Amino acid sequence: MALFLFCKSPAGPVRMNRIQLLLCCFLLSLIIYFFNGRRAAASLESAHPLSQVLGMKDGMILKDMSSMKTVDSKTPQETSWGAPMVWGDSHNSVWRRAKLSERGIRIGLLALVVGTYARFVRHFLYSAENHFLPGQMVTYYILTDNPRTLDPPVELGPGRQMKMLPAAELPGWDRLAYRRMVLFAEAIWGSIGKEVDYIFCADIDQEFVGPVGEEILGDLVATLHPEFFEMPRNNFPYEDQEESSACVEEDEGDYYYTSEFYGGVVSQMRRLARECSLLILQDQANNMMAKGLEESYLNRYLIDHRPTCVLSPEYSWWDSPLTAHVPKKRLVSLGRQCEAYDIEKRELQRC
């Protein structure tokens, strides 16, 4: 009845302009809703016939109602399988930090320091003290071939401690690439697994430059590679040698992850380190190694075991022509930054 009164004048039918027609259609949809007891669609993206009547297309109301268009975020908040994609200043990250900051969570940060990499360890630890999960109980586990790497020791804040774990000397990248994941597996299966709830593995030649808080915590956490974040799938440097245990087929893979920073609960990290170690040892027995070294095996594992939490490139970044723009830098790779420099700049920066 209300619709009839709106669309007719006492003198008879009148010509309605477009806005009146749209309002009539809207009122008609409300009447259908109340009589049939059906729920209205929750999103403009749903297949609702009313969207065509109102002039909607692809989630947008055309011209007359253009102010109500949906917003297409440039920073995705979720993966295709429903895992959160973490941006440090998002509403979800702020909420998670507030929710978890008051809990007593034991977190380990594990890094390998051998040979000349000892020069990075103090800078790494100082930056972690400033930015890595402030207020939480953190243990730094340093796998090293030199027990005097931190002599004198670094002064740490309340609730923070450091433990040195012995590792045999591993000269050269070739041996290190074969052994690092094995060393991580042994360490996590040992005392680390009994002392912390979460463990994160990090390359020592990095620097925390922004807050890294409880938003990173998850069962299995991977970090997006900044040079391939917005690249199409066919540009990902997955292993393509069919004989390698790290080989990825053309129809596999969603993202390409960096080996600079990854982690999760102890049980998940035990499994990851063990299975990646087995893949590496299997290739070693066949006298081969994946082109991307440890990173290739990590990506193979994360295709078969999708992460429950994916960190944005804010948590692994360096300046190069390929790196994606990020709202805020939080963890920067000094080693990969040097790789991006030309020869002259490498010498200038003493890379």
- What are the residue numbers of the active site? 295
> Rounded to whole angstroms, how far apart are CA atoms 344 and 337?
14
Annotated binding site for UDP-N-acetyl-alpha-D-galactosamine: 117, 203-205
Enter the tokens of residue 140.
């730094």
Enter the tokens of residue 54.
């109102």
Three-state secondary structure call for residue 13: strand
Torsion angle in degrees (nearest 10) through CA of 212, 214, 220, 222:
-20
Inter-residue contact 333 to 319 (CB < 8 Å): no
Annotated binding site for Mn(2+): 203, 205
Three-state secondary structure call for residue 342: coil
> Rounded to whole angstroms, how far apart are CA atoms 331 and 314?
7
What is the C-alpha R_g of the chain?
A: 27
List, as one string, the DSSP characters of 284-338.
HHTT---TTTHHHHHHHHHHHS--SEEE-GGGSB--STTPPP-S---EEEHHHHH
Annotated binding site: 117, 203-205, 225, 295
Cis peptide before 152, with omega less than 30 degrees from 0? yes
